[in-house]
Amino acid sequence: MLDLFAGCGGLTRGFVDEGDFRSSGAVEFDRSAAATYAANFDPTGTHTFAGDIADFRDVPPVDLVIGGPPCQGFSALGRRDPADVRNQLWREFVRVVRDSDARMFVFENVDRFAKTPEFDLLRAAAGEGGQLADFRTQVFRLNAADFGTPQKRIRTIIVGSRIGPVSAPVASHARRPTANLPRWVTLREAFLSGPVVLDPGVRDEWLPESFLDFQGRSVPGAFKLRDLHVTKRYDLTSEIRYAHIAPGQSRLQLPEDLQYPCWRRDPVGRSDVLGRLRWDEPGVTIRTEFFKPEKGRFLHPQWENGGDQVNRALTHAEAAVVQGFDDRHVWCGSKAEIARQIGNAVPPPLARAIARVVGDRLTAA
Ligand SMILES: C[S@@+](CC[C@H](N)C(=O)[O-])C[C@H]1O[C@@H](n2cnc3c(N)ncnc32)[C@H](O)[C@@H]1O
């Protein structure tokens, strides 16, 4: 398979872990993300095209093309500008699917992609008279939590196939437990008894000094998941603010004297700012700046009134765990670059569920 807009390779991770898939190429123009991809899936570094997809011409023949163009153009958080050049990237996706002669494709994006003109255009491309006329598409709206990820994250998945339809990915977990399905994985389970247990008392601020050569340039890394268990130094007022916020609460519950002036003018909006996560639920959608508490609900869930408190945002390692990565994945780049890779990734457990139904179709054909 070929992964376009590959990022750190969250999507590939799920497909490779599912068994029968092998990556024969990836396209990613962020150098550190491309280095992360290569460190995990391309040991010789020769199959990873670290450049703009518009310049990617040597398309190898593959069975499957997977990929998720950047979502800022489509996401509710982005500018929602229909002329945004990023919205045109699906065209490049279509070109590469055609040039690769793939039998199937998987296109991933944010929930609201299904309501954009680009969504209709992509489906039209796979319709009568379109560039991918021999493909038929199926659309799935999937929540990563239903597939064993300790995170509520809803994504639109379009599966294109010219060898027949796939069955719907099968949920392994449910919001409320049923006779067949356990309830969603919580942060308590993920942090305290998951495959990677991380000490909440972390103090380290910096990644280790380590560099590797990626296509002739030096890139920080490759770091293990535990190396990413780093925090930052907060000023005292910030720590006092965080200490006032119980699980499920946010800046809205802060006493008047700890509010920023701009918040006082907006007493109800942006209710997730300085939000604290809850131990007994999955996390909320991890974004690229999860390490800044003012960017959302990213405060660590440990908080006892007057007792044991962890007054900081999630570490990079914790965010990667919430995204469903384990310690087999390694990472390259600066702290901010790695945070972007983590926040952009498709959770590998969700990718695995998709890989299973796509793999069944490819083997049956
Ligand atoms: C949403 S992320 C993909 C995440 C990935 N699917 C995963 O699971 O880890 C989109 C990626 O597209 C890359 N990108 C954006 N524009 C690009 C372009 N013109 N050519 C190549 N890559 C691009 C970004 O650097 C970003 O890493």
Read off the pLDDT of residues 206-236 as tens digits, 9 standing for 90 and up.
999 999 999 999 999 999 999 999 999 999 9
Q: Which of 196, 104, 96, 90 is nearest to 150 (CA)?
A: 196
274: left (phi over 0), alpha (psi -120 to 50) or beta: left
Average pLDDT estimate for 103-117: 92
Q: Whole-number mean pLDDT of the chain?
A: 92
Element at 98 (helix H, strand E): helix 89-100
Domain ranges of the chain: 2-173+346-364, 188-341
The CATH number given to 2-173+346-364 is: 3.40.50.150
Residue nearest to atom 18 of ligand 1 (CA): 52
Atom from ligand 1 closest to the CA of residue 108? 6
* pLDDT tens, residue by residue, 69-85: 887 655 555 555 555 55
Please tell me if the CB atom of residue 70 comes closer than 6 angstroms to any atom of ligand 1.
Answer: yes
CA of 248 to the centre of ligand 1 (A): 32
Please tell me if the CB atom of residue 320 comes closer than 6 angstroms to any atom of ligand 1.
Answer: no
pLDDT, residue 70, reads 86
pLDDT, residue 305, reads 80
Residue 79: CA count within 13 A, CB half-sphere:
7
d(CA 143, CA 284): 11
Catalytic residues: 71
Average pLDDT estimate for 35-42: 98
CA angle 198, 203, 206 (to 5 degrees): 95
Please tell me if the CB atom of residue 30 comes closer than 6 angstroms to any atom of ligand 1.
Answer: yes
Average pLDDT estimate for 103-127: 90
Residue range 188-341 in CATH 3.90.120.10: yes
